[in-house]
Amino acid sequence: MEPISTVAGIGVPLQRSNVDTDQIIPAQFLKRVTKTGFDDALFYGWRQDPDFVLNREPYRVEQPGTETRILIAGPDFGTGSSREHAVWALRDYGFAAVLSSRFGDIFRGNSGKQGLLAAQLSEKDIETIWLIVDEHPGIAVSVDLVAKTVTVGTASFPFEIDDYTRWRLLEGLDDIGLTLRDENHITEFESRRESWRPTTLPAR
Partner 1 sequence: MTEAARPRTLAEKVWDDHLVVKGENGSPDLIYIDLHLVHEVTSPQAFDGLRMAGRPVRRPDLTIATEDHNTPTLLIDRPIADPISRTQIETLRTNAQEFGIRLHSLGDIEQGIVHVVGPQLGLTMPGITVVCGDSHTSTHGAFGAMAFGIGTSEVEHVLATQTLPLKPFKTMAITVEGTLKPGVTAKDIILAVIAKIGTGGGQGYVLEYRGSAIRSLSMEGRMTICNMSIEAGARAGMVAPDQTTYDYLKGRPHAPQGAEWDAAVAYWNTLATDDDAVFDAEVFLDADELEPFVTWGTNPGQGVSLNDSVPDPAAFDDPNDRAAAERALEYMDLTAGTPMKEIPVDAVFMGSCTNSRIEDLRAFAEIIKGRKKADNVRVMVVPGSARVRIEAEAEGIDKIVEEFGAEWRFAGCSMCLGMNPDQLAPGERCASTSNRNFEGRQGKGGRTHLVSPVVAAATAIRGTLSSPADLSVEVSA
| Smallest gap from residue 113 Cβ to partner 1 (A) | 7
Kindly report the backbone phi and psi dihedral angles of residue 93, in degrees, each rounded to the nearest multiple of 5, phi listed first: -70, -30
Binding-site member from 28, 48, 154, 195 for partner 1 (CB under 8 A) = 195
The Cα–Cα gap between 179 and 109 comes to 18
Taking the complex as a whole, the smallest distance from the CB of residue 3 to partner 1 amounts, in Å, to 13
Residue 168 contacts by C-beta under 8 Å, 6 or more apart in sequence?
A: 112, 174, 177, 178
**Per CB under 8 A, does 34 bind partner 1?**
yes
Q: Which positions from 74 through 113 interact with partner 1, judged by CB under 8 A? A: 84, 113
Question: Which position among 33, 50, 154, 163 is part of the footprint of partner 1 (CB under 8 A)?
Answer: 33
Q: What does DSSP say about strands 6-14 and 117-120: parallel, antiparallel, or unpaired?
A: unpaired
Is residue 77 exposed (0-12), middle (13-18) or buried (19+ Cβ within 10 Å)? buried
Among 62, 63, 176, 191, binds partner 1 (CB under 8 A): 176
47, 23 contact by CB (below 8 A): no
Q: Does 192 bind partner 1 (CB under 8 A)?
A: no
- At 12 the three-state DSSP class reads strand
Q: Which is nearer to partner 1, 15 or 36 (CB)?
A: 36
Q: Which residues bind partner 1 (CB under 8 A)?
A: 1, 31, 33-36, 84, 113, 174-176, 179-180, 182-183, 185-186, 189-190, 193-201, 203-204
